[in-house]
């Protein structure tokens, strides 16, 4: 159990470092109404996974990204983000 906890802790620390610039860009670019209902779940190899609670929010996030939000986020974070993925899931599971 201790080994899996240590591995999880390292994974979370690495993810936090990778998401630093993206988090700042997220807060600056994404509209508050969407920001409150979505979260960046994973950043891996240039792919950013965004989790939303329902299909309606998924649709609104998709529209935001396609209408220029994706480019704005890429420019604002200054890191190499290749693509955004949107998944429906539980937001409360991300904060645990």
pTM of the model: 0.76
* Phi, psi at 79, each rounded to 5°: -105, 170
Go through 37-71 and write b for each residue having 16 or more CB atoms within 10 A of its CB, e for each that does not.
bbbbbebeeeebbbbbeeeebbebbbebbeeebbe
The pLDDT of residue 58: 97
Residue 94 belongs to some domain of the structure: no
Collapse the DSSP code of 27 into the 3-class scheme (helix H, G, I; strand E, B; otherwise coil) and give the result.
Answer: helix
Q: What is the CATH number for 55?
A: 3.30.300.180
Count structural domains, the chain: 1
The pLDDT of residue 83: 93
Residue 18 belongs to some domain of the structure: yes
Q: Which domain holds residue 77?
A: 2-88
Residue 96 belongs to some domain of the structure: no
**pLDDT tens-digit readout, 31-86:** 999 999 999 988 888 899 999 999 999 999 999 999 999 999 999 987 778 999 99
Residue 93 belongs to some domain of the structure: no
């Amino acid at each position: 159990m201790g080994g899996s906890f240590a591995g999880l802790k390292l994974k979370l620390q690495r993810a936090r470092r990778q998401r630093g610039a993206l988090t700042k860009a997220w807060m600056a670019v994404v509209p508050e109404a969407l920001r409150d209902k979505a979260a960046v779940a994973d950043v891996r190899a240039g792919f950013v996974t965004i989790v939303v609670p329902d299909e309606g929010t998924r649709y609104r996030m998709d529209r935001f990204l396609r209408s220029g939000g994706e480019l704005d986020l890429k420019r604002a974070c200054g890191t190499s983000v290749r693509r955004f993925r949107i998944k429906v899931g539980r937001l409360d599971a991300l904060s645990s």
